[in-house]
Structure 1
Amino acid sequence: MPQIKSAIKRVETNRKANLRNTAQTSAMRTSIKKFEVAADKGSDDKQALYTDAISAVDKAASKGLIHANKAANTKSRLTKLNK
């Protein structure tokens, strides 16, 4: 554990950021999986889940959680499933 006050603050800030990033990444993955399952079954709410998944991927990319190219690849893959 750090002794310097600024280092102690930095540890706490990093912990909070890690929790936030983990939660947002998990939410993105969950929305993607929900859409994939719905697309597999041919569910009626497939379009709404597709929109949620694309939105979650865009938010993650804008916040720097995933790289822009990974976001583009994921969106392309989901779009193929949506057809």
Structure 2
Amino acid sequence: MTALELEAGKTELIREILRIDNRDVLDRVRLEIRKWLSISERIPCSYTLEDVKQRLSITEADAIAGRGIIEEEANDIIDNWI
């Protein structure tokens, strides 16, 4: 999507919102927009292929060197989070 298409989409959305003539509907739209914006802010970071390769290399080196925790410890930690 180009920047121009994105701006056109925003303008169309604004026009649709401006046509709302019911306070309850407007409140629901506002709430949903806020939910979507907060969800997009919580999306996990993404990595490039080079980032993934580097992280895997570090992880492999840690495993070979015996750094880390055993599966049971990891499961206990996860269980405590839940």
- Shorter-chain TM band: 0.3 to 0.5
Higher helix share: 1
Asked which structure has the greater RCO (Cα within 8 Å, sep 6+), the reply is 1
Higher Rg = 2
TM-score for the superposition, normalised by structure 2: 0.38
> Under a length normalisation based on structure 1, what TM-score does the superposition of the two structures give?
0.37
